[in-house]
Structure 1
Amino acid sequence: MGLNSMQFISDMETLSPDSGSMDSDIYRTLGLEELRKGVFRSPRVLMLLSSLLDRSVQKNEMLLETTQIKDVVTIFHGLRPPTVSIRNYVDRIFKYSACSPSCFVVAHIYMDRFLQQTDIHLTALNVHRLLITSVMIAAKFVDDAFFNNAYYAKVGGVSTEELNRLEVKFLFGIDFRLQVNVNTFGKHCYELEKESAGGLQIERPIQACRIKENWSSKDDSTACSSTIAR
């Protein structure tokens, strides 16, 4: 966990929920302190973020199917949905990127900013690329140590060249607004915590993003599908 992550912890513990920020209990509940304590199980924030994104994808896809709204096609859109669930993809990123759990909260904030700025709808065609890009950028901003783009590309199932393009597009999409204040961080933590009251997570069988590498399972033999826009 980097110095910026540790500063998040320090800031959160000095604020109360009444101020609109997360208290230390919520912080611990999400599992954002677990790496500092030497506990290496999957933090709860991963499950809640996956559930929130999965429900957003289903809601948006239903909206697009039942209305005349047309989605904005970008380089984040694949030709077909990957075969891995959002939850498994998030778990994979956490396992192999070794980034702090706080990165996933910051990544969620970045995704919100990107979607609001671009009017893109989160769907099964773009959620995976948005995830790997936003988590990578968050790790670079929050953590002291992080891998290079080539490594994140391998974890995410895309080429290094493609991830480089995605990173540039994403950064310009949010006007390089990478700073996250304590109140914004806390607000998103509470939003994720409320997801636990929203019922069981629904994981639709959206196809999988497979990655050929030494640590892959025997079924991981192909990369993500090509994007629609380049």
Structure 2
Amino acid sequence: MEELPADFAEVNIDSLVLLIADMLERLMSHNDLIPLLPESLTRFHSRSAPGITVLDYLRRIVRFTNVETSCLLIALYYIDQICARMPLFTLSSLTCHRFIIASITVSSKGLCDTFCTNSLYAKVGGISVTELNVLEREFLEKIDWRLMCTRDVLQEYYVNLVRTHSTGQFFVVGAHSSGGSISSDSDVEMDTTQSRPTTPDAHLRNRTSTILIDSPLVTEVSRRPTIEQNMAFSSFAALQQSQDPTVENEPDPNRRTM
């Protein structure tokens, strides 16, 4: 068995990728058995399942974008937020890859000091930049612009990933179900004031989490995007580097199917 640090911010990103991919693969296997109804279709749906596993897709994103651990982990929080607001939405082999690249794009811009252009995110994700721009806007609307969550919430997702891993090869010594030892100098400073759990939206109050097994969904007071946020994300979508970074001779296995 492999021991992992108690604090999610200190975990090796390769181990975190294994944990997240394991969770998503199991979720996809379950949801792929659910019949796809016309009313369930979203912008995240592909015509066919991409020819790359979620594990390899996440590794590709980590390799070429230097995504931070918090941005990977908060994708699980976003899944719960979207599933609560869109009861017909399921994370399946047709939606997972597009959801992941949209989540990484949004969280990197919202949480990190440095991030890539949409052109690079699209190239790494195997979709066109125009399509990524549409997915980004759709993603922000579906999460109601709630980009932040507390460190305690992310810690709970992290501990739950370890606890429910299919092979049981990881363990966290001395971890609690929530909280845990949190470092004050993590890579990404999460919002701990506006995002404290308060009175949930009425329609979300009794919903359970898709990812956090047997845990209530933690939600926040509705907060619409500010003018600055709208302007910022519009600018990010249009941003182009004078010399766009090139992904070094890496095949694009998703471009034809996504």
Aligned position for 1:15: none
**Mapping for residues 129-148 of structure 1, pairs under 5 Å:** 129-148=98-117
Give me the whole-angstrom Cα distance separating, in 2, the residues matched to 1:58 and 1:108: 17
Question: How far, CA to CA, are the matches of 1:154 and 1:189 in structure 2?
Answer: 29
Percent identity over the alignment is 27
TM value normalised by structure 1 = 0.70
2:72 pairs with 1:72: no
Measure, in 1, the Cα distance between the counterparts of 2:52 and 2:125: 11
Is residue 2:255 matched to residue 1:223? Answer: yes
Rounded Cα–Cα distance in structure 2 between residues aligned with 1:200 and 1:86: 19
Measured after TM superposition, the shift of residue 146 of structure 1 is 0.2
| C-alpha separation in 1, matches of 2:61 and 2:79 | 16
| Alignment match, 2:31 | 60
Among 28, 33, 44, which residue is 2:15 paired with? 44
Q: Is this contact kept in 2: 1:57–1:124, CA < 8 A?
A: yes
C-alpha distance 222-174 of structure 1, shift in aligned 2 (>3 A): closer
1:164 match: 133
Which of the residues 142, 145, 154 maps onto 1:173? 142
Question: Residues 95-154 of structure 1, C-alpha deviation per residue, up to 9 Å, x if partnerless?
Answer: 111121121001221122112211201110010000000011111122110011111011
1:48 counterpart letter in structure 2: L
Q: In the alignment, which residue of structure 2 is the partner of 1:124? A: 93
- 1:154 matched to 2:123? The reply is yes
Deviation of the 1:70 alpha carbon: 6.8
Q: Distance in 2 between matches of 1:100 and 1:136?
A: 12
Deviation, structure 1 residue 155: 0.7
Task: Report the Cα offset of residue 221 of structure 1.
Answer: 6.5
- Superposition deviation, residue 225 in structure 1: 2.3
In the superposition, the TM-score normalised over structure 2's length comes to 0.63
Separation of aligned partners in 1, 2:158 and 2:72: 10
Structure ranking higher in helix proportion = 1
- Partner SS, residue 42 of structure 2: coil
